[in-house]
Amino acid sequence: MIGAIRSEIRKVFTTRLWWGMALGMSVLAALIAMGFAALLGNADMDGGEGQGNPFARLTVGTAQMIYNAGIIQQMTILFPLAMGVLLITGEYRHKTITATFLSTPNRWVVMVSKLVAVAVTGAVYAVLHAAASLAGAVPIIKFVKHQPTMLNEPKVWQSLGIGIIAFIIWMLLGFSVGMLIRNQIAAVLLAVGATFVIQIALSIIFTVKEWYSAMKWIPGQLTTNMVITSNPLAGQSVDPKSAAQYFDHWWQAAIVLIVYAAVLSVTGAFLTTRRDVT
């Protein structure tokens, strides 16, 4: 088992894919974090209709938003998602899955080893993401906005730590989609398309219909729910209905997201253990 895990981790870090994706993600994360930081104190960011303005005043929650800006915008979270898809579909595309199953014929062992490798890679990405976001936002907050960076707040670091869990779950989601679909192009399009298009469509529909409590089950919303543990709207009068789009605690959102990933990955792993490798 140790050998199979080491093999899977080696697989991830012996092609250029991992750092290419990491580089693209980091640049994007830094840019979005800079953008968020630049919005500080902007009175026009009021969501209207009692939604509140998280940038009105720098709170701990606002700092959490800025340092996780890429995740909240559901942009950088696409990188671990796509990476998860590519890690497994690449094996089918290049037929290396044959060599994998020949060295470890117990396919459940292979699947569990891959999950461990996915978790390790997800954690690496999360750390890089946090570093890039801080590098992008801190100079703007400090030198342009002349505000405290909030880096002495434990809740800011807690939020970045939870980001690691979020990245691992998203990579696992991608990995599961890849196991189920196997065709690399189709799987990437479906995973990214579902995140991008379907989530946004659902958000719009739920908002228009005012189904705020349905919003909190959307993966992107759950992720925001996880990393923002302090209310950035603290002290503002907010329509209580819109508060219904989040769970009360970050770990509740995490559990829901983990259940999504677990259902998908167990289904995918089960199919993988049954299928012929031709």
Partner 1 sequence: MTTAPPAPPSQIEFHNLSKRFGDFTAVRDLTFTVEPGRVTGFLGPNGAGKTTTLRMLLGLIRPSEGTATIGGRQYGAIANPLRVVGSALEATNFHPGRSGRDHLRVLAAAAEIPDKRVDEMLELVAIPAAARKRAGGYSMGMRQRLGLAAALLGDPQVLVLDEPANGLDPEGIRWLRGFLRGLAADGRTILVSSHMLSEVEQTVDDVVIISNGQLVKSGTMADLHGPSSALVRTSDPSRLAGALRVADVTSHATPDGALLVETDDLRLVGDVALRAGVPIWQLQAQVSDLEDMFFRLTEGQNRNLGDATTAPRAGDAIMGRDGGNEK
Which residues would be at the binding site for partner 1 (CB under 8 A)? 2-4, 6-7, 10-11, 14-17, 90, 94-96, 98-106, 276-278
Residue 162 or 179: the one with the smaller Cβ distance to partner 1 is 179
Minimum separation from the CB atom of position 16 to partner 1 (A): 6
Closest distance of CB 176 from partner 1, Å: 21
Residue 62 vs 89, nearer CB to partner 1: 89
Task: Using the minimum distance from each CB to partner 1, give the nearer residue, 6 or 249.
Answer: 6
CB of 18 to partner 1, least distance (A): 11
- Residue among 215, 243, 225 at smallest CA distance from 159: 225
Tell me the closest approach of the beta carbon of residue 24 to partner 1, in angstroms.
Answer: 16
Token reading at 143: 């030198």
Burial of 224 (0-12, 13-18, 19+ CB in 10 A): buried
Nearest CA to 265 out of 84, 79, 83, 13 is that of 84
Nearer to partner 1, 13 or 211 (CB): 13
Least distance between partner 1 and beta carbon 6 (Å): 4
As to burial, measured by CB atoms within 10 angstroms (0-12 exposed, 13-18 middle, 19+ buried), residue 93 is middle
Number of helices (H), then strands (E), belonging to the chain: the values are 14, 0
**Quick one: 248 or 276, whose CB is closer to partner 1?**
276
Measured distance CA(112)–CA(108) in Å, rounded: 6
Query: Helix, strand, or coil here: 91?
Result: helix
